Every structure is written in structure tokens, then in C-alpha cells.
Amino acid sequence: MDLAVIPIADPETVAKYEPVIGLEVHCQLKTKTKIFSPSSHEFGNPANTQTDPVVLGLPGALPVLNREAVEQGVRASLAIHCKINRRSVFARKNYFYPDLPKGYQISQYDEPLAEHGWLDVDLEDGSTKRIGITRLHLEEDAGKTIHDGFRDSDQYSYVDLNRAGAPLAEIVSEPDMRSSEEAFAYLTEIKQALQFAGVSDCDMEKGQLRCDANVSVRLKGEEKFGVKAEIKNVNSFRFVKMAIEYEIARQVAVLESGALVVQETRLFNNTTGETSSMRSKEEAHDYRYFPEPDLPPLLVSEEWERSIADSMPELPRNKRERLVSEYGVSDYDARVLALSAETADYFETVAKASGDAKMAANWVQGELAGALNAAGKTITESPISAESLARLLKLLGDGTLSSKLAKEVFAKMFESGKSADEIIEAEGLKQISDTGALESIIDGILAANPKQVETYRGGKVGILGFFVGQVMKQTKGQANPQVVNELLTKKLAG
Ligand code: ADP
Ligand code: MG
């Protein structure tokens, strides 16, 4: 039967099956030079300006392992709780394609840099699931073949080797995920871990993070895994989710029709949302792996690993948990604040200096995030320093400013970069809490409105708002509303 003509299964049929998903993530490490040679690998430079004899595979050129790439590989491994192997081995993975002039890719095969890791991922129902990580190994990136965009593109393809030899960490998960949602959550978590570890910006648009999804389905209750298809190079998390969902429905339809899923590599088309067969799955033996004779085994001593571990920043999940336990913020707040290390640092400084973590959390996520967003700025570019925001919150906390005034002052601070005190001083924005001053204003208002006073005393206490409004009008909104309320109630009582 022609598998291509089987329509994908409906949700009800899909629900009889359980998907099994394993992900292979490639992360480009942000080293200054390539993994085995001295060229840079910055994104966006003119084609073929970042090559050298090693990248070009010129006869006699020998690879030299980049120490920084190994260090970042170790950092990445530690961020995903992998065990570092004291000894790992580079291997040649042989294949012929113009994006790799040597005719083989230097990778790691049976002895990878690190193994046996995990990541805990948060699911929409509030639960947490641990996803196993099989291994992390180092390898070199390939160049890019360009098939479109030139006048003679119908006859020729072009090759850009700027990316060839860039260091990659390939992270292979266990087949532990059971839905596209779990796969999405895993990718989100891994990206954050790698960013926090400082090994990559993980910008998918620049190809710094790439993902292949392995998908199979089995009838619910069945133990044996089904045959998997591997979906290649899907370039956003959202597309990975879509590709997996399509693939699940496709495989279910194939099985329901009585046919078998074939093991193959498939490509996702982000215009149609469909996957289509690219080639039958190659097996490891097709690559003729053998140990790379030009590189000695990579040895990572315990001391080296420890010195790298000591310089690791706090990981996102630990940070979130600490923000909750140390500052008493909610899980939700901790999650938002710990989205980046910079935001979390900023929050911690504000919380400590202001002495009010709850208020700090609200302002960092509320006013500050809003203003930064509107100005197109990141938190490190904030015109208001953490210390300066803390001072504003102190003035709010001690009643010098009402929350309305604090917001006004905040906007002026953001605009001018001036401190809260400078702005209050210059604009006379202080909240009036001084009872003496307020009392005389209130006396005047009561005297000028005898009718309303009578109404109040007759039992219509709802008219209190009228008096508050009058006080605010006279003080240009600067009266402390709480003090005004107290004074008015006392005076009106007779
Ligand atoms: P291969 O030898 O085909 O590359 P691996 O065993 O190396 O397969 O696994 C590659 C990826 O596929 C891993 O992420 C793994 O978790 C996942 N995987 C393996 N078997 C299955 C399966 N039956 N269904 C879904 N994913 C799978
Ligand atoms: Mg494999």
C-alpha cells in the first residue's frame, strides 16, 4: 500500500496509542575559535571567510583540540547532571557531502565525553517529570550548502564553510517523553540550562540550537517500543511540537491501516505542518566509525572537572527553588524572575536592599518589565539600577510616597535615569502624611461643605468619598489616603 495516501489518524484513534519520544539536541558552543583549528565561527560573516587548512581538509593539515571547547562541553554536561568520563575518544564518522571537505566528521562514538544525566521538566498540570539523558558528546559542525538565491541556483548549489568545524555538543535523551508537550518542556529546560551554564546563547535562528526528534507509537499498555522515525532539523520549539504531533497521527494511521511504520529519516515542512520521508535510516555501520588517529584520547582529570564545576553559576532550577525558600516569593514569581540570571540577580539586589521581597518581585515583574519591554531594552540596560529601585520601594514602604506617586516617580526615573530622591525633591512629589498639615486642609473643607457634613452625620457615610476627593484635589493627589481617611472619620464623627 502507498503509505503516502493514508490520511492521518483522528484524535480519538490517536488516543488509543502512546507516543514515545527521544530528542537529539545539537548545541553550538560559543568558543572564540573552531573545535580543531584557529578560525573563528561567528555567525553572519561573508561566505568562506572563516576557513583554514584543517577545515578545508587540505592534505597534511592536522586537528588540534580546542581546550575552551572541552571546558564548555564539561560545563554543559554538568548543567544537565551528566557524569564526566575521565577518558573519551574522538572518532571519524565517514560520509561524503560537500559541506564537509574532509569526507568525515570528527565526533565521539562509543566513548563520549559525558553520560547518565537528567533534567527535571515542569508540565502544564503542575507536575514535574525527570527525563533521562543518555550522553553528551563533542563533535564538529558541518558547513552549509545553499540551494537557493543565486541566478544559477537551478544548476548549482553553493557551499559556505564558515560553520564547518564549529564546536557542537550533541545531547541525546533517553526515550522518556510521552507527549509533544513533554518534548517542548524538555527543550525549554535544556535551553535554559545551557544558557545559564554560559556555553551558548542557543539562538535557534542562528542555528546555535538544533533538534532532531525521534518518535514512535505503541498501543497503550504495550511494553515494547514501536519502530521510530527521526525528524530532522526542525528550527523552532513550536515546530518541534507540531512535527511530533503530526508524526504521531501519521504513524497511528499507518498502524491502523494494517501497515508497518518504517524506520526512516523524515523532514518537517513548516508551511504544511507535515513530515515527509527523506531517506531510509542509516545505521551506525554505514558510517564506518573508527577512532580518530590524529587526536589522542581526551583526558579530563578530576581536578580539571572540579575547577570547572567550581566556576559554574547556579542552575535555573536551583535558583528558582532558592528564590522561593530564601525570599518567600511564589513558585510562579520565582519562575518568571529566574528566566534569566540577570533578572534574578536584579531582583535579589532589590529584595535585599529594600527589605521587602514581595514588593520587589511585584515591581521587577510589573512596572520594570513593562517599561523595559516598551523601551525595547533588556534588564542589563535598565536606566534604573537595582539599588535605585530599592530606594523607591523604601519610600513607598514608609509612606513617603503613595503607590500612585511611586508609579509616577518610577516613570520619571526610567525616563531620566535620576534617583527617586532627586525627582521627589525637584517636583515636590512627596506624599503628605503630616497630620497637622492635613488637618487644617480637612477643617477648611468641612467648613465649606456644611450640607454634606450634615448628610454624613445623618447616616449616609458613603459620602466620605466626596470629602476624600476634595482633599486629594487640594493636595494634587499627594495626601496619604490612609491618613486622610482616618482624620476625616474622626472629625466627621463629631
Ligand atoms: P539510532 O541508533 O537509531 O541513532 P539511538 O538508540 O542512538 O538510535 O537513539 C537515538 C534517539 O532516539 C535517542 O534520543 C533515543 O532516546 C531515541 N529512541 C530510541 N528508540 C526510540 C523509540 N523506539 N521511539 C522513540 N525514540 C527512540
Ligand atoms: Mg544514535
Between CA 182 and CA 186 the distance in angstroms is 6
Query: Could you tell me the strand order of the sheet in which 229-234 lies?
Result: 83-84, 114-122, 128-140, 167-173, 17-28, 209-219, 229-234, 264-269, 274-280
Within 13 A of 19's CA, how many CA atoms are on the CB side?
28
Judgement on whether residues 73 and 182 belong to the same structural domain of the protein: yes
Least confident of 100-109, 198-207, 305-314, 398-407: 398-407
Please report the pLDDT score of residue 399 as a whole number: 78
Judgement on whether residues 204 and 340 belong to the same structural domain of the protein: no
Please report the pLDDT score of residue 403 as a whole number: 85
Residue nearest to atom 14 of ligand 1 (CA): 22
Judgement on whether residues 388 and 416 belong to the same structural domain of the protein: yes
482 pLDDT band, cuts 50/70/90, is confident
Between CA 85 and CA 74 the distance in angstroms is 10
For residue 87, what are the β-bridge partners? 299
Please report the pLDDT score of residue 5 as a whole number: 65
Judgement on whether residues 265 and 205 belong to the same structural domain of the protein: yes
Phi, psi angle pair for 180, to nearest 5°:
-65, -30
Q: Which ligand is nearest to the CA of 93?
A: 2
Q: What average pLDDT score do residues 321-346 get?
A: 92
Q: What average pLDDT score do residues 453-458 get?
A: 90
CA of 172 to the centre of ligand 1 (A): 9
Grid cell in block for residue 113: 565525553
Residue 415: which domain range? Answer: 314-427
CA of 409 to the centre of ligand 2 (A): 58
Instruction: Determine, yes or no, domain membership for 292.
Output: yes
Please report the pLDDT score of residue 3 as a whole number: 57
Judgement on whether residues 395 and 484 belong to the same structural domain of the protein: no
Residue 419 reports pLDDT greater than 70: yes
Please report the pLDDT score of residue 310 as a whole number: 93
Between CA 414 and CA 383 the distance in angstroms is 6
CA of 3 to the centre of ligand 1 (A): 22
CA of 265 to the centre of ligand 1 (A): 12
Residue 1 reports pLDDT greater than 70: no
Please report the pLDDT score of residue 231 as a whole number: 96
Q: Which ligand is nearest to the CA of 229?
A: 1
Beta-strand runs (E) in 270-413: 274-280, 290-291, 298-299
Tell me if 395 sits within 8 A of 407, measured CB to CB. no
- Which atom number of ligand 1 is nearest to the Cα of residue 174? 16
Least confident of 25-39, 73-87, 138-152, 268-282: 268-282
- Which atom number of ligand 1 is nearest to the Cα of residue 172? 14
Please report the pLDDT score of residue 286 as a whole number: 84
- Which atom number of ligand 1 is nearest to the Cα of residue 226? 23
243-297 pLDDT, tens digit per residue, is 999 999 999 999 999 999 999 999 999 888 888 888 777 776 788 999 999 999 9
Percent of the chain with pLDDT over 90: 74
Please report the pLDDT score of residue 4 as a whole number: 60
Task: Answer with the one of 303, 328, 344 that is the final residue of a domain.
Answer: 303
CA of 413 to the centre of ligand 1 (A): 54
Instruction: Determine, yes or no, domain membership for 456.
Output: yes
CA of 25 to the centre of ligand 1 (A): 13
Residue 483 reports pLDDT greater than 90: no
- Which atom number of ligand 1 is nearest to the Cα of residue 281? 3
Judgement on whether residues 403 and 461 belong to the same structural domain of the protein: no
Please report the pLDDT score of residue 405 as a whole number: 86
Judgement on whether residues 398 and 440 belong to the same structural domain of the protein: no
Q: Which ligand is nearest to the CA of 186?
A: 1
Residue nearest to atom 17 of ligand 1 (CA): 22
Instruction: Determine, yes or no, domain membership for 167.
Output: yes
Between CA 463 and CA 362 the distance in angstroms is 33
Q: What is the widest separation between alpha-carbon atoms in the chain? A: 103
- Which atom number of ligand 1 is nearest to the Cα of residue 227? 23
Task: Answer with the one of 303, 329, 357 that is the final residue of a domain.
Answer: 303
Residue 177 reports pLDDT greater than 60: yes
Please report the pLDDT score of residue 2 as a whole number: 56
Please report the pLDDT score of residue 432 as a whole number: 78
Q: Which ligand is nearest to the CA of 217?
A: 1
Residue nearest to atom 24 of ligand 1 (CA): 216
Q: What average pLDDT score do residues 71-86 get?
A: 97
Task: Answer with the one of 391, 408, 427 that is the final residue of a domain.
Answer: 427
Please report the pLDDT score of residue 280 as a whole number: 79
CA of 339 to the centre of ligand 1 (A): 30
Judgement on whether residues 105 and 239 belong to the same structural domain of the protein: yes
8 pLDDT band, cuts 50/70/90, is confident
Residue 306 reports pLDDT greater than 70: yes
Judgement on whether residues 145 and 169 belong to the same structural domain of the protein: yes
Instruction: Determine, yes or no, domain membership for 309.
Output: no
Q: Which CA distances in Å does 456 have to 439, 453, 459?
A: 18, 5, 5
- Which atom number of ligand 1 is nearest to the Cα of residue 225? 23
Tell me if 140 sits within 8 A of 107, measured CB to CB. yes
Beta-strand runs (E) in 290-330: 290-291, 298-299
- Give the residue, out of 23, 107, 109, 214, with the most ligand 1 atoms within 8 A of its beta carbon, to mutate for a pocket test: 214
Tell me if 470 sits within 8 A of 485, measured CB to CB. no
462-472 pLDDT, tens digit per residue, is 889 899 888 88
Q: What average pLDDT score do residues 43-55 get?
A: 95
- Which atom number of ligand 1 is nearest to the Cα of residue 284? 2
Residue 229 reports pLDDT greater than 90: yes
Specify the higher pLDDT residue, 426 or 387. 387
Least confident of 11-20, 30-39, 452-461: 452-461
Residue 7 reports pLDDT greater than 90: no
Residue nearest to atom 19 of ligand 1 (CA): 175
CA of 22 to the centre of ligand 2 (A): 11
216 pLDDT band, cuts 50/70/90, is very high
Average pLDDT, the chain: 92
CA of 145 to the centre of ligand 1 (A): 27
Please report the pLDDT score of residue 364 as a whole number: 96
The residue written with cell numbers 528564590 in the block is 323
427 pLDDT band, cuts 50/70/90, is confident
For residue 469, the domain's CATH number is 1.10.10.410
- Per the structure, how many domains does the chain have? 3
Specify the higher pLDDT residue, 253 or 432. 253
Judgement on whether residues 194 and 221 belong to the same structural domain of the protein: yes
Specify the higher pLDDT residue, 296 or 425. 296
Q: What average pLDDT score do residues 77-84 get?
A: 97
Please report the pLDDT score of residue 37 as a whole number: 97
Residues in the ligand 1 pocket, defined by CB under 6 Å? 20-24, 172-175, 214-216, 225-226, 228
Tell me if 412 sits within 8 A of 420, measured CB to CB. no
62 pLDDT band, cuts 50/70/90, is very high
Judgement on whether residues 111 and 260 belong to the same structural domain of the protein: yes
- Which atom number of ligand 1 is nearest to the Cα of residue 215? 25
Between CA 4 and CA 17 the distance in angstroms is 21
Judging by DSSP bridges, how do beta strands 264-269 and 229-234 pair with one another?
A: parallel
Judgement on whether residues 225 and 333 belong to the same structural domain of the protein: no
CA of 195 to the centre of ligand 2 (A): 25
